[in-house]
Each structure stands twice: as C-alpha cells, then as structure tokens.
Amino acid sequence: MPLPPVAFFSIYEIAVRWGCPPADVAGWAAAGHLHVVAGIPPVLCGDETVAGMVQVPMAELMGMFRRMGPSDDQARLKRVMPLGSKT
C-alpha cells in the first residue's frame, strides 16, 4: 500500500523545492497565499482551551525570516486559530 501524500511542508522545505528564499515563502504566507499551521500545547484563549493543530498568522512570525542570513529572533504567538474555526 503506498503512503499518502505529505500533508505539511516546512517553510524551509517549500523554499528549497521552489528555489526561493524562506523570506519569500513567509511573505506569501503573510499575504494570505499559504496557511501556516503549527502544533501547540494547551493554552487558555479567553474561556476556551486551545491545543493541537492551529493556524498561525504569519505577520507575527515575519521577524524570524530575513533575506540576509539566518535570524536569531524568537516570536511569541499572541493569536492562534483552531483548524476549522472562523474565529
């Protein structure tokens, strides 16, 4: 039985496959052309506990991707959206 297709690619994998800098992929994601998904441990969002796979707004992570060499920056997520949710 063949394996199913790959469900997720990292920003760096996409950059290598497409032959472009990771900053370009991050920019396309920030512009809404791609969705950034991450797995997170349980966190409290208002009255709701959110955990597992969430969509992440790329604008909060842009500082981690520079055109001139790697970045040592860290990003703190302040907004996440559970997959399948509209809010």
Q: What is the pLDDT of residues 48-62, one digit of tens each?
A: 898 999 998 888 887
Q: Which candidate, 61, 57, 58, 53, places its Cα nearest to that of 82?
A: 53
Pure H helices in 1-87? 11-18, 22-30
Single pTM value for the model: 0.74
Q: Give CA–CA dist 62/29, Å, rounded.
A: 10
Q: What is the pLDDT of residues 35-47, one digit of tens each?
A: 889 888 998 888 8
